[in-house]
Amino acid sequence: MSPRVVFPNKVLPYLLVAPQLAITLIFFYWPASQAVYQSTLREDPFGLNSKFVWFDNFKRVLSDPGYLNSLQVTAIFSVSTAFVSMAVALLLAVMADKVIKGRGLYRTLMIWPYAVAPAIAGMLWLFLFNPSIGSLAIGLRSLGISWDPLLNGTDAMILVVSAAAWKQISYNFLFFVAGLQAIPKALIEAAAIDGARETKRFWTIVFPLLAPTTFFLLVVNTVYALFDTFGIIHAVTGGGPGRSTETLVYKVYSDGALNQLMGVSAAQSVILMVIVIALTAVQFRYVERKVHYG
C-alpha cells in the first residue's frame, strides 16, 4: 500500500478508537480470558473453593459420553442443515437464472425468512408439526407416518434441521444468484452450441465455476449451524428428547447456566473458541474475496 495522506493529529485517533476498544476489552477479551482461566479450575459443589487442576476439565469433557454425543449431534445437525439449505437454494437460484419474467418478484418473495429470528422459525415449524395441534402433523399421520418430534429423537432432529435450513435458504439463494450472474454467459452458450444439454452444462461448467461461492457459503452455513441456531434448539427441543438434539453450544449453556458446572462449561467454551478460530482462519485464508489487508 502506498503511503497515504493522513492527518497529523496525535491524540484524536486514540479518542476515535477508544469506544470500540473499551467495549471489546470489557465484554470480549475479559470474559474470554476468564473462560480460559476457569477451564483450569475446579470448584467444590458449593462454589466456595476452587483449585487449579491443569487440563483435568478438558480430560473430563472429552471422555464424557454426553459430550461425545453432542459432538456427534452437532456434526449431523450442521452437515444436514448446510446441505439441505444450500441444495434447495442452489436449485432455486439456477431456476431463477433461467426465467426471464418475474425474476425480481421471485427474489422479493424468496428473501423473507432472512428477517425471521431462528428461534421464531423453529417455533413456527413446531406449530405446524407438533403432534397435538400441528395441522401438517395431522397430514403426516393420515399418510400413515408415525411422527412425534416431542418424543422421538430422529423426528426432533428432522424438525430442527428443517427449521434451520428453511431460515437460511434466502441467504444462500441471494449469494447463488449473484454467483450465477457472474458466470460469463458466452461460456454457457458456447457449450449449448456444441450440443451440451442443460444438465450437462450445469455439472461441467456452471457448478465448477460456482465453487468459490459454494465454498464461501459452506463456511458461513457451518458457522450459522454451529452458533446462530442456539435459539432454534433452545426454543423447540431444549436439547431433547433425551439428548438427541443437544448441540455443543446448547450444552455449554445447559452445563453452565442451568447446571452450574463452571469448570466443565468453561472447558467446553475453550474448545468452541478453538473451533471458531479454525473456521475464521479458513474463511479468511481461502475465501478472501474482497477483504485485502494493506
Partner 1 sequence: MVETPAAVTPAKATSTAAVLGRKEDGAMLGVSRSSRYIAHVILILGIVIVAFPIYYTFVASTHTLQTILRPPLPLIPGDQFFENYSEALFGGVGRIGGVAVSTLLFNTMVVALAIAIGKIIISILSAYAIVFFRFPFRMVFFWVIFITLMLPVEVRIMPTYKVMSDLGLIDTYTGLTLPLMASATATLLFRQFFLTIPGELVEAARVDGAGPYRFFKDILLPLSRTNIAALFVILFIYGWTQYLWPLLMTNRNDMNTIVIALKKMISFADADTQWHLVMVTSMLAIIPPILVVLLMQRWFVRGLVDTEK
CB of 12 or CB of 46, closer to partner 1 = 12
What does the CA dihedral 138, 142, 145, 151 come to, rounded to 10 degrees? 30
CA distance 151 to 129: 13
Contact in structure between 287 and 213 (CB atoms under 8 Å): no
Smallest CA-to-CA distance from 132 within 119, 117, 150 is with 150
Whole-number Cα distances in Å, 204 to 183, 187, 188, 192, 199? 13, 11, 10, 12, 9
Q: How far is the CB of 144 from partner 1 (least distance, A)?
A: 17
Smallest CA-to-CA distance from 174 within 97, 283, 119, 287 is with 97
Q: How far is the CB of 258 from partner 1 (least distance, A)?
A: 11
The C-alpha R_g of the chain, in whole angstroms, comes to 24
CB of 76 or CB of 191, closer to partner 1 = 191
CB of 68 or CB of 274, closer to partner 1 = 274
CB of 157 or CB of 234, closer to partner 1 = 234
CB of 14 or CB of 55, closer to partner 1 = 14
